[in-house]
Amino acid sequence: MHRKFNALSSTILTLLLVATGWAENPSSLDSYQKTGRFGELWGDGIPIHIDAVAMERGRTRYMANCAICHGMEGTSSGGPTDITSLMDPRVRMQPDGELFDIITNGRKKMNGFSPALTDSDRWKVVAFVRTLQHRQNQASGTAPIPLPTAMANEMAAIKQKQPPTPVKNSPASNQRKTTLKNDNETKASHLPEG
């Protein structure tokens, strides 16, 4: 019985690792840390250790490089009017890897920050942006995205040499989508009829 369980567990683990590309390419975590992608898929998860010091570094890098356009709270009140708010549901639903890529390479009128910020600092900015979004949920009275728990789980997975989720429907992404859906339903229920 014990052998069958071990064989089954090993088979399942191998299938999961092959499906994520981890077994075929052990450097996929390194690649994810530099690109935000697992092959063609955006990853969801912060692949570096996030603690109070890292979060403060993310905040200071955000304030120095991002707040001028996106505003101190990520609402895009700080710069040109056509800057996307980081509170926009489209941004909030983006996987962490895609947000990292935008910070790295830029998008539309935004220049990339790869020359100015290290990979580690860009991931810290991603973590800080997620906390801004988390705070905005709390301020609006909607169910907050459980960011600290999600990050803790992702960090535990990394410590066990498992990569962040290389799928579009990761638990963290699904939680963000559920929170936004509930938030939109709450707002719609408070609109006057007519």
In a domain, 133, yes or no: yes
Q: What is the CATH number of the domain that holds 159?
A: 1.10.760.10
Burial class (CB in 10 A: 0-12, 13-18, 19+), 160: exposed
In a domain, 18, yes or no: no
In a domain, 11, yes or no: no
In a domain, 31, yes or no: yes
CA-to-CA distance for 25 and 20, rounded, in angstroms?
9
Lowest mean pLDDT among 78-87, 96-105, 165-174: 165-174
Q: Number of structural domains, the chain?
A: 1
Residues spanned by the domain of 182: 26-189
Q: How far is CA 93 from CA 54, 63, 75, 109, 162, in A?
A: 23, 22, 16, 21, 23
CA-to-CA distance for 46 and 56, rounded, in angstroms?
15
In a domain, 4, yes or no: no
* pLDDT average, residue stretch 15-28: 49
Tens digits of residue pLDDT in 39-56: 888 888 888 888 889 999
Helices 119-139 + 96-105 axis angle, to 10: 120
In a domain, 36, yes or no: yes
In a domain, 128, yes or no: yes
Which of the pair, 96 or 169, is modelled with greater confidence? 96
pLDDT at 58 > cutoff 90: yes
Predicted pLDDT of residue 115: 85
The predicted model scores a pTM of: 0.63
In a domain, 106, yes or no: yes
